[in-house]
Structure 1
Amino acid sequence: MRVLAVGAHPDDVELLCGGTLAKYAAKGNKVTIMIATNGNVGSEILSSEEIAAIRKQEAEQAASIIGADLIWLGYDDEFLFHDRPTRMAFINAIRSANPDVMFVHGEQDYHPDHRICGEIARDCRILVTVPLIITEHKHMLKIPHVFIMDNLGAIGFEPEAYVDITEVFETKAAMLKCHKSQDSYLEHMYGMDYVQFMSTVSSMRGQAIGVRHAEAFRSLPMYPVSGGPHLLPI
C-alpha cells in the first residue's frame, strides 16, 4: 500500500499520525510525508530564510527514521491560501506519491494553515484522477481513501477509529525530537514541553481503547467512500 500524510507544517504529521506511519512503514508499505509550509516564522532569533532551511533539514531527518519520502512545497508559514496555483501544486504532489490512503487535517482544527491544508487536500482527492488537469505527474487511476487526523490537543474531535501505537511510541517520539528548533521555540514562547504534550494526547487516546498510546482518526464522510478503518495498520 502507498500512504501519504499531508501536514501544514513541519512536525504536524509526527504529532498527529507519526506512530501510524511508523507502523505502516514497518509492514513494508510505501510512506510519503508532504509538508505544505516551510515553518519560516518559527524562531525568535533567526531570519525567515535561516529557520526555513533548518526546519526542512529537521523534516528530512524525521522522515528518514521510518524511511519515508518527503515532499516539501515550501509555502510561507501562517499564510497558506486555497487558490488555483496552490491547488495545482497539491494535485501534482499527491499524484507524485500516488497514494492508496491519505491522511489530512480536519476542518475544525485550531490553526488556519491546518484547516486550509486539509481543505485543499480533500478537494484534490478526486481531481488527482482527472486526465485533463495537466501537471508534471500523470493523473492517478483511483481516488485515495482519506483519513482525517486528530485535532491538535484532541480538542473538538470525535474519533471513529484508533491505531494502537504503543509498540512504536518511541519511534514517534524520536521523529518529533528531530524538530529541535520547534521544540525550543514552543518552550520559549509558551513554556510547552513538546514531547510531553504529544505523550499526554496519545495516552488519552490510548485509554479509550485500553492501551498505553494511540492515535485517533475518522474516514472522510464524503462520496465516494473508497475504503474504511480496515485500511489502518493493526
Structure 2
Amino acid sequence: MTNTHRTPEHKVALAFMAHPDDAEMACAGTLIRLAQAGWQIHIATVTAGDCGSQTMGPSEIARVRIAEGTRAAELAGAEFHCLEEPDGRVVYDRQALQKSIDLFRRIAPSLVITMPMSDYHSDHEITGKLGRAASFVYAAPNASDVPVPDDAAVPFLYYCDGMEGRDRMGTPIEPTTYVDITEQLELKASMLACHESQREWLLSHNGMDDYLDAMKQHSIERGRQCGVGAAEAFVQHRGHGHPADDLLLEMFAHVERAH
C-alpha cells in the first residue's frame, strides 16, 4: 500500500534531539524557515546534557544547559522541552518511550525531525529510535493517559544529519532532502552560540576547537552539494504508515533533492 499525500493543516514541528545544542548543530536553520512559514516550533531534548562539563556537577550543568537551550529556542520563536533522562546513558526502555509519547501527545506534531539511528553518539541513536516509535504510536488512544489531541496523526518524519555527515562507522550519509539555509545561517549560529558551556567541553572531550565554525563549514559543504550557499541535510522516513511525500522539499521548492 502506498502512503497518500497529505499536507498538514496543523502546522506544528518538533525537533526531538538528545542534548541541548543538537538542534542548533543539525536542523535549526530548517526550524527557522518553518517558523518563518507560520509553523509552531518545538525543540525537545531527551537529556539535559548533565555529563557535558569537566568542572560542574550534573545538577548544576543540567540547569545551565536547560537555560541555554531555552534561550536558543527563543531566538527562533520556539518552545524548549526536556525529558531529563541521564546524559550518556540514554536507553530504549518503557520509561523513556512513555515520556516521549506523552510529550508528543501534548505537542501533537505533524512534522518531526529526530536524530540519525546510526551516529557517533549512542544517545543520538537511541533518541532516533524513541522519536521514530513515538511518532508512529502517539496518536493511538491507548498509548498514553494524556488526552488525544484533535489533530494527532502519524507525522512526516525526518532524521537529521550525523556529525560531519557520517554514520557511526564513518560512512558518508546519503541525504534524501536538502534545505537551503543560506539566509538563516547567521541566526542558526546565534542559536548555537547560546550554548556557551559547551565551548570548553567540546574542546577537551571531542577535540572540537570552534564548534560555531565547524557548524558553518559543514552547512556550507552541504550547500555546495545542492548548489546553494548553505544547507541542512536530512533522510526522510518513508516506511509504511508515515507520509512518503517529501514535505520539506515541497515547502521549499527551490531546494534540490539529493540523487
Q: What is the TM-score when the length of structure 1 is the normalising length?
A: 0.96
Aligned to 1:205: 222
1:142 aligned residue (133, 145, 153): 153
Aligned to 2:76: 66
The residue matched to 1:217 in structure 2 has which SS? strand
- 1:99-141 CA-partner distances (Å, limit 9, x unpaired): 1100011111111000000001101222101111232342663
2:34 aligned residue (1, 5, 24): 24
- 1:33-61 CA-partner distances (Å, limit 9, x unpaired): 01100111111111111111000000000
2:165–2:173 CA contact under 8 A, matched in 1:
yes
Aligned to 1:167: 183
1:161–1:217 CA contact under 8 A, matched in 2:
yes
- C-alpha deviation, 1:174, in angstroms: 0.4
1:92–1:137 CA contact under 8 A, matched in 2:
no
Letter in 2 for 1:4: L
Runs of at least 5 residues in structure 1 that lack an aligned partner in the other structure: none
2:177–2:248 CA contact under 8 A, matched in 1:
no
1:58–1:178 CA contact under 8 A, matched in 2:
yes
Q: 1:1-234 maps to which residues of 2 (within 5 A)?
A: 1-138=11-148, 141-155=152-166, 156-189=172-205, 190-232=207-249, 233-234=251-252
**1: CA distance, partners of 2:124 / 2:225:** 25
**1: CA distance, partners of 2:147 / 2:66:** 23
**2: CA distance, partners of 1:130 / 1:89:** 15
**2: CA distance, partners of 1:60 / 1:230:** 27
- State which drifts further: 124-133 or 162-171: 124-133
Cα RMSD of the aligned pairs, angstroms, is 1.4
2:159–2:236 CA contact under 8 A, matched in 1:
yes
**1: CA distance, partners of 2:231 / 2:93:** 35
**2: CA distance, partners of 1:161 / 1:112:** 24
- C-alpha deviation, 1:226, in angstroms: 1.3
- 1:175-203 CA-partner distances (Å, limit 9, x unpaired): 00000001221123324211011011101
Runs of at least 5 residues in structure 2 that lack an aligned partner in the other structure: 1-10, 167-171, 253-259
**1: CA distance, partners of 2:147 / 2:30:** 27
Letter in 2 for 1:221: R
- C-alpha deviation, 1:225, in angstroms: 3.0
- C-alpha deviation, 1:227, in angstroms: 4.3
Paired-residue identity, %: 33
Aligned to 2:256: none
